[in-house]
A = this chain, B = another copy of it.
Amino acid sequence: MLNERTKAKLIEVVGSANFQDSSEARLVYSYDATPNFQSLPDAVIMPENKDQVKRILTICNEDHVPIVPRGSGTNLSAGTCPTQGGIVLTFNRMNKILEIDEENLTVTVQPGVITLDLINAVEAKGLFYPPDPSSMKISTIGGNINECSGGLRGLKYGVTKDYVLGLEVVLANGDCIKMGGKLAKDVAGYDLTNLFVGSEGTLGVVTEAILKLIPIPETKQTLLALFEDMDAAAKTVSAIIAHKIIPATLEFLDQPTCEVVEDFAQVGLPTDVNAVLLIEQDGPPEVVKRDIEMISRICTEGNAVSVKVAASQAEAEALSTARRSALSALARMKPTTILEDATVPRSKISEMVKAINEIAVTYNVKICTFGHAGDGNLHPTCLTDARDKEELHRVEQAFEAIFHKAIELGGTITGEHGVGEMKAPYLALKMGGEGVAAMKAIKYALDPQGIMNPGKIFAKDTRKRVVVRS
């Protein structure tokens, strides 16, 4: 618990209306979208500007109080669960789009802006902000930056880090640093901007960001290809890229996922084939037409049983929206949904999907798989029940086996969800002990007291993946 002196100092900074430590408030901010890591913070604080953030961090650093910066809490790796108590810092009051600069193609935002609001605001000016995590209707840009969020358009357009040009960050000691700017090129010292993107709130608090925009693609078309077996679908993904076509979206859904999503969204997804590719291309009309024709041909040659181009923009949107709802749809099926994002080189997707299915059989657990096939970022999703300790143990073993397989294939334990607390025990699989040690050295160089989102990224001693708290 916070001592009264610390509490009084924090209230002095933000006013009593913006400091909450009632049971209700603490409960609301005790979890994110990850099962089984719920934990009460000591308080929730809502700063209004950078200066308040500086003062809050200075107080917390002096008084050794953990700080957990939090967007909308859509995190899937327990990155925003206050598992060591302390203060949850929210950005509901720092949620403005400060400037859309049409000459330099940038947008300057506060961290609390909702991702989709930003996307809509820039699209109204004919500009494009590509990163589109499935949670974009509720996720914040600050959260996206902390996690380096990806999305469906990552294959062609990259992820959040590819669009962050500059950041204003408050460090644990209260120092405020501005890095980058409205600049296409900047090598003035280390690339701190990219270090902070994806640092999961463990190095400092982002208080403002300059994001890169690009001209909005003129047109887009969407295509659905159905396959009798997963292997044919995966090989088709590789074949499309090998033909030097980079689609805007190249998504994969297995049969169980299709069935659940169709039941939820009712958009006409097939439920009787083993694998579906949802492919979108955007750009100048001539190019889109040519690419979609070529992709259709490659799908057919790859033994697709059906290849269908969406007849209208409305139909295309419905398909994308349905794909984005996969997590919500799956979450209805069983009490506990654990969604992972092991990622492999694109050429290994077929092998990885096969391995996931074998692992599910070995450990007798139900895993649906969908994801961003084009960039090797799969989302094996386990439908389970956290109250069934015995099953949960098998789920944990299955995911451990999946992580090992991903690494064996040259992949990583997380493509876009972050390490958080959930995958911290597995970071060394990817980075080795020496890599983890280097990361820890950087962490403690910038946050010597360890107040910034403690317990995240770096594991203590546990090898347990799913920790059930009482």
Q: Mark A240-252, 1 if CB is under 8 A from B, else 0.
A: 0110111000000
Partner of A181 from the list B126, B374, B412, B435 (CB cut-off 8 Å) is B412
- 4 new A-B contacts, CB < 8 A, other than A186-B414, A189-B457, are A175-B434, A176-B434, A189-B427, A442-B442
Interface residue? A155 (CB, 8 A): yes
**Are A438 and B192 neighbours in the complex by a CB distance under 8 Å?**
yes
- B-side contacts of A435, CB under 8 Å: 177-179, 189, 192
- B-side contacts of A191, CB under 8 Å: 148, 161, 194-195, 197-199
- B-side contacts of A444, CB under 8 Å: 445
Instruction: For the complex, give the distance between the alpha carbons of A430 and B192 in Å.
Output: 13
**Are B244 and A126 neighbours in the complex by a CB distance under 8 Å?**
yes
Which residues 316-374 of A sit at the B interface, judged by CB distance below 8 A?
Answer: 343-347, 372, 374
- B-side contacts of A188, CB under 8 Å: 412-414, 419, 423, 427, 430-431
Partner of A183 from the list B192, B286, B345, B427 (CB cut-off 8 Å) is B345
Partner of A410 from the list B182, B194, B284, B377 (CB cut-off 8 Å) is B182
- B-side contacts of A103, CB under 8 Å: 238, 241-242, 346-347
**Are A184 and B438 neighbours in the complex by a CB distance under 8 Å?**
no
Interface residue? A112 (CB, 8 A): no
**Are B175 and A418 neighbours in the complex by a CB distance under 8 Å?**
no
Contacts A103-B347, A104-B346, A192-B439 known; A419 to B187 CB distance under 8 Å? Answer: yes
Interface residue? A287 (CB, 8 A): yes
Partner of A419 from the list B183, B189, B344 (CB cut-off 8 Å) is B189
Q: Mark A384-415, 1 if CB is under 8 A from B, else 0.
A: 00000000000000000000000000111111
- B-side contacts of A434, CB under 8 Å: 171, 175-177
| A interface with B by C-beta (< 8 Å) | 101-105, 126, 147-148, 150, 154-155, 158-159, 161-162, 171, 175-179, 181-192, 194-195, 197-199, 203, 214-216, 238, 241-242, 244-246, 284, 286-287, 290, 343-347, 372, 374-377, 410-419, 423, 427, 430-432, 434-439, 441-446, 457
**Are A189 and B436 neighbours in the complex by a CB distance under 8 Å?**
yes
Q: Which residue of B lies closest to A444 (CB)?
A: B445
**Are A154 and B242 neighbours in the complex by a CB distance under 8 Å?**
no
**Are A161 and B442 neighbours in the complex by a CB distance under 8 Å?**
no
Q: Which residue of B lies closest to A203 (CB)?
A: B190
- B-side contacts of A415, CB under 8 Å: 183-187
**Are A438 and B177 neighbours in the complex by a CB distance under 8 Å?**
yes
Q: Which residue of B lies closest to A171 (CB)?
A: B438
Instruction: For the complex, give the distance between the alpha carbons of A254 and B374 in Å.
Output: 44
Instruction: For the complex, give the distance between the alpha carbons of A403 and B249 in Å.
Output: 42
Q: Which residue of B lies closest to A173 (CB)?
A: B434
Tell me the smallest distance from the CB of A403 to a CB of chain B, in Å: 10
**Are A183 and B347 neighbours in the complex by a CB distance under 8 Å?**
no
The 7 closest A-B pairs by CB, nearest first: A184-B375, A215-B244, A194-B194, A185-B415, A445-B445, A175-B434, A182-B345
Residue from the set A186, A190, A290 with the largest chain B CB neighbour count within 10 Å: A190
Tell me the smallest distance from the CB of A348 to a CB of chain B, in Å: 9
**Are B375 and A345 neighbours in the complex by a CB distance under 8 Å?**
no
Partner of A287 from the list B284, B372, B412, B457 (CB cut-off 8 Å) is B284
Instruction: For the complex, give the distance between the alpha carbons of A188 and B101 in Å.
Output: 33
- In the complex, 29 of the A-B residue pairs with CB atoms within 8 angstroms, ordered by the A residue number, are A102-B242, A103-B242, A104-B347, A147-B187, A148-B187, A175-B437, A176-B434, A177-B434, A181-B345, A184-B374, A185-B375, A185-B415, A186-B343, A186-B412, A187-B416, A187-B418, A188-B413, A188-B414, A189-B435, A190-B442, A190-B443, A191-B195, A191-B197, A214-B246, A215-B246, A284-B286, A442-B442, A442-B445, A445-B445
